[in-house]
Structure 1
């Protein structure tokens, strides 16, 4: 009888041949051996397939080689559909992880019966040189989140899922589908009955590509194509948030502050592509502020937990200077 994997690692691959070998080396050499690695080549036009093929001697790897590009979220969903592990983790192949990343998170999760285990994130440049503060820089030891105050540490983390272990059963219980996006998976951490812990001792190394500002064109186009940021999409997202099982008002306000920051900033990025009217932009801003309870009282309760640039963004939004942020984004996009 086959032993159930402790962790299923879901990896989409597209146009990352210059990074994927280092990533796969960091993955197959994990100190946690009982893992399932599901690689999805999303019809990548580069040499990803050839490099992945070299690693298929490892019988822990399952390989989905798509003939047609279907996009990141469908690639993740294809991997999730065949995953059998106790926990799920999503990794990106242009990044890499500590050798004990999976074992450290898994053991901490099992010892404390956690549903979600959050690791640390360190940004690195093209030469693997670390820069900036880590996602969990405010704490130094492993911690199970218990009080409402504890959850504020999550405000400093990206909403992306690549440094979080999710118990697969919990994802099923919440009927999670990858086409819903990573922001929905982030909200699960705040729901009643979900036990969360953070481990700042092991790192996911997130590569910030050198020409990051030149990526605004791609990002604006990709995000603007998502129905999630249309007027109807915004209403759908807010309806989802209002329906979440979160009994604590403090926890709900913590989540709402974070969602405002993420959702409003991503909506602004769509405006780089769409260039809506000023009245529409004000309408969207007012809707998000009202529905997500964005006000001075909440702002001062939570703002210190955000990173510096996010504090500036939120400050300008609170003061009604959102247009300054948009103008700066347009300026950088044109450079």
Structure 2
């Protein structure tokens, strides 16, 4: 196989029902100068066997089979062997539109950017389609405007997916995903924003994200709060080390801290019964800086400021989210 222009990294863990759809969407791209790196992260179902069959049928596919180390470890394993000039991450239960790579590649070339981002849509188990955002509103952002934008998630999305990265940019800056935490994208996106010179945007829906609730235990929810704290503290240390941190950014950082933990609170309010929810709510209040940073909610968008005010009352937040959940309204 000739040297690929784009490396597509697909971490795999127990997705036997979705993997074929994901890989078909990648291998049938209009842009075919790609390599597809499948990283089986210790799956216990039939995912690895499906991946082996896919590798046999297409010379562009490379399979890495490793012990379970988590999403970050799987992505990092893919990055270490990637040969393309550009890198795209696709989660194995999602899929991409036929022209996804073509559109992102043309955009990153045209703008000479470090990262190119596209719009995404979310598909529920019932087949309901929900757009994440209707438009980016800008063609690109540069220099000192990138980090404030990323901290408040104005234009630059948090997810590592839906973005084409210049591999040299990642490699030269030693950018990898922090292993052992579940909020790896929060840290990674802030690190990207701290170092990127230009980020461009494609105002088209090119990524399809499957919404799967699954079952999450109490310990998993505790880890959600703990790991978000680790991710955000690590992000702050990274910004300080790279001389990106100053007083105005400190305010935005603390606003982002509120927003990220508010999102976790909304998840538990939607998905837990009241007694379990109260335990997790109290865990958040006692183990994070959520209340301490309350004054910085003024930097958040209006809907998040309202939800932050509501979140000061555990009962009111719980009832509000159950009502919003009934009407299938999602807060992001």
Q: TM-score, normalised by structure 1?
A: 0.76
Does the CA contact (< 8 Å) of 1:264 and 1:288 recur in 2?
no
Structure 2: runs of 5 or more not aligned: 270-275, 324-332
Aligned counterpart in structure 1 of residue 200 of structure 2, from 190, 197, 201: 197
Does the CA contact (< 8 Å) of 2:187 and 2:234 recur in 1?
no
**Per-residue deviation at 1:195?**
0.7
1:294 matches 2:291 = no
Aligned counterpart in structure 1 of residue 308 of structure 2, from 296, 317, 330: 317
Other structure's SS at 2:216 match:
helix
Partner Cα distance (2:290, 2:188) in 1: 25
**1:307 matched to which residue of 2?**
none
1:207 matches 2:210 = yes
**Residues 179 and 19 (structure 1 numbering): CA distance in 2 closer, same or farther, change over 3 Å?**
same
Other structure's SS at 1:69 match:
coil
**Residues 206 and 234 (structure 1 numbering): CA distance in 2 closer, same or farther, change over 3 Å?**
closer
Partner Cα distance (1:227, 1:177) in 2: 22
Does the CA contact (< 8 Å) of 1:8 and 1:87 recur in 2?
yes
Number of aligned residues: 310
The answer to which of 180-189 and 102-111 deviates more is 180-189
**2:329 matched to which residue of 1?**
none
**Per-residue deviation at 1:260?**
3.2
Other structure's SS at 2:174 match:
coil
Other structure's SS at 1:285 match:
coil
The answer to which of 159-168 and 238-247 deviates more is 238-247
Aligned counterpart in structure 2 of residue 182 of structure 1, from 169, 182, 185: 185
Does the CA contact (< 8 Å) of 1:187 and 1:255 recur in 2?
no
Other structure's SS at 2:106 match:
helix
1:95 matches 2:94 = yes
**1:172 matched to which residue of 2?**
171
Does the CA contact (< 8 Å) of 1:36 and 1:61 recur in 2?
yes
The answer to which of 21-30 and 190-199 deviates more is 190-199
Does the CA contact (< 8 Å) of 2:35 and 2:84 recur in 1?
yes
**Per-residue deviation at 1:289?**
1.5
**1:119 matched to which residue of 2?**
118
Aligned counterpart in structure 1 of residue 219 of structure 2, from 203, 218, 221: 221
**1:130 matched to which residue of 2?**
129
**Per-residue deviation at 1:116?**
0.8
Partner Cα distance (1:280, 1:206) in 2: 28
**Residues 329 and 193 (structure 1 numbering): CA distance in 2 closer, same or farther, change over 3 Å?**
same
**Per-residue deviation at 1:11?**
0.7
**Per-residue deviation at 1:316?**
3.2
**1:106 matched to which residue of 2?**
105
Other structure's SS at 2:82 match:
coil
